Amino acid sequence: MFNKILIANRGEIACRIIRACRELGVKTVSIHSQADKDCMHVKLADQSICVGPASAAESYLNIPSIIAAAEISGADAIHPGYGFLAENTYFAEVCQACGLKFIGPSKESIEKMGDKIAAIALMKAAKVPVVPGSDGSVDAEDPKIFQIAQKIGYPVIVKATAGGGGKGMRIVPSEESLKNAIILAQTEAKASFGNPAVYMEKYVEEPHHIEFQILGDKFGNVCYLPERDCSIQRRHQKLVEESPSPYISEKLRKVMGKAARQAAKAVKYVTVGTVEFLVDKKGHFYFMEMNTRIQVEHPVTEMITGIDLVKEQIKLAAGEKLIIHSDKIKILGHAIECRINAEDPDRDFIPSPGKIGQLFLPGGPGIRVDTHVYSGYTIPPYYDSLIAKIIALGSDRQEAIARMSRALKETTIENIKNTAPLHQKIMANERFAKGSVATDFLPKYIFNEADKK
Ligand code: ADP
């Protein structure tokens, strides 16, 4: 096991990792920007080092500063969390070259799954079902795009090969808007990821976003855990996640879980990762991408399996053997996670940073809150707007929804516009209560309130 881990991240995930390290008896070093000196992760870690000014580029993405912090503090491993450098192959390589264990998969695995076009080709070869698509990047100036889209069949979706966070995506209903959509997606992809490459695939209508947590060890063992349903999204970004999915049968869980394991094995995956699929109206499933890191929504899986995924991730990175078997997992109930973002839902979700007044977070039976904020804390404007995750566990879905509604009602975050009231609306929605909602649920039934027509 490691002696000291440096956490190259901030906020709730940095706190989550510190807690796992403490339980494992591993010392922790956090890093922070000048703007984050009062953040909870700085207070929770055994030691914290300032790595630069407020801008992420100069602090949480500043590889030389982070490596220097690890060396000065005597850390022997680096946990990247999610976002920032978590899926950066160069960072993984630099860690290795400096004798620091990167807590994640090998740089080769990250590389193979990081480029969506390459990942899709690899999955096809591994016999994992993929969405019919362009088999490579497309360019707006190439006249062949019309033929390719015709062959795939409209509607198609244009996606960034380096994509993430739902950026660089455009749905194209017919050929009139194809060229323009590609130009817009390329521009957005260049601005967001520095890589303008985009590709096309069939737009799966009313899809369900279903993903599988996988764990792998250096001996080639891979297991999968019960699926998460992340179909409640706003602009292709997840807002609510739950496990197990009300849409997936026991039989489909097994088939998809095995496909996820196959996907992970194809890249010799070590530590924890997530294989994402889309499932259509007929129950056909398609590989979408693999995230080679711990995910925001990992707590729902932890709640229903009793497995501490971050501790497992650290143990697997330290070279331990995987002892979890997919077939032996018992589902302990139903869990739902609501992402509380400091955003104003009435003003198109613009970020709402600033000083929190009184803060009261919920508790009681079945409620877990992962957060880094506290009364009087000032949310800086520079980073992600996620301020808390409320997770509810119930003996069944109905109880999980009731607990979440109750927890959301207890929540008070003074002075900061946030998504808690929106989550209350979702929890109270009859369609949601029935289960099986697709990714069009939020725009169709919460924002436009089609139910009330
Ligand atoms: P990102 O890496 O930006 O998160 P993903 O490939 O994971 O992008 O897709 C994010 C979301 O976009 C999916 O959960 C789904 O809602 C939507 N999406 C992506 N591809 C398709 C598709 N082919 N058909 C329908 N929806 C899609």
What separation in Å is there between the alpha carbon of 134 and the centre of ligand 1? 16
The confidence score (pLDDT) of residue 255 equals 97
CATH homologous superfamily of 132-202:
ATP-grasp fold, A domain (3.30.1490.20)
Instruction: Indicate whether 39 pLDDT > 70.
Output: yes
- Which of the following is catalytic: 293, 339, 368, 403? 293
Average pLDDT, the chain: 96
- Taking phi over 0 as left and psi of -120 to 50 as alpha, with beta for the rest, 387 belongs to alpha
* Residue range 244-301, pLDDT digits in tens: 999 999 999 999 999 999 999 999 999 999 999 999 999 999 999 999 999 999 999 9
Second-level CATH architecture of 4-103: 3-Layer(aba) Sandwich (3.40)
Is 117 touching ligand 1 by the criterion CB < 6 Å? no
Say whether pLDDT at 452 is over 70: no
> In whole angstroms, what is the distance from residue 270 CA to residue 104 CA?
7
Band of pLDDT at residue 357, cut at 50, 70 and 90: very high
Per residue in 53-64, pLDDT (tens digit) is 999 999 999 999
Model confidence pLDDT, tens digit, residues 152-173: 999 999 999 988 888 889 999 9
Confidence of residue 451 (pLDDT cuts 50, 70, 90): very low
Above pLDDT 70, what percent of the chain?
A: 99
pLDDT, position 346 = 87
By alpha-carbon position, which residue is closest to atom 23 of ligand 1? 203
The CA–CA distances, whole Å, from 449 to 269, 405, 443, 444, 445 equal 43, 20, 8, 6, 4
Buried b (16+ CB within 10 A) or exposed e, 413-423: beebbbbbebb
User: What is 15-70 written as a DSSP string?
Assistant: HHHHHHHHHHT-EEEEEEEGGGTTSHHHHHSSEEEEEESSSGGGTTT-HHHHHHHH
- The verdict on the CB of residue 269 being under 6 Å from ligand 1 is no
Which one, of 316, 298, 438, lies nearest residue 370 by Cα? 298
- Residue 236 CA, ligand 1 centroid: distance in Å: 6
Q: Please indicate whether residue 293 is annotated as part of the active site.
A: yes
Q: What pLDDT sits at residue 4? A: 98
Region class of 206: left (phi > 0), else alpha (psi between -120 and 50), else beta: left
User: Measured between alpha carbons, how far is 411 from 141 in angstroms, rounded to an integer?
Assistant: 51
Residue 78 DSSP symbol: E
Distances (CA, A) of 13 to 118, 294, 374: 29, 9, 15
Protein residue whose Cα sits closest to atom 17 of ligand 1? 236
Q: How many CB atoms lie within 10 A of CB 148?
A: 18
Distance in Å, CA 2 to ligand 1 centroid:
36
pLDDT at 168: 84
64 cis-preceded (ω within 30 degrees of 0): no
| CATH code of the domain made up of 208-452 | 3.30.470.20
Q: How far apart are CA 418 and CA 361, in angstroms?
A: 13
Collapsing DSSP states into helix, strand and coil, what is residue 426? helix
Q: What's the 161 CA to ligand 1 centre distance in angstroms? A: 12
The conformation of residue 419, written as its DSSP 8-state character, comes to: S
Does residue 204 line the site of ligand 1, with CB under 6 A?
Answer: yes
pLDDT digits (tens, 9 = 90+) for 76-127: 999 999 999 999 999 999 999 999 999 999 999 999 999 899 999 999 999 9
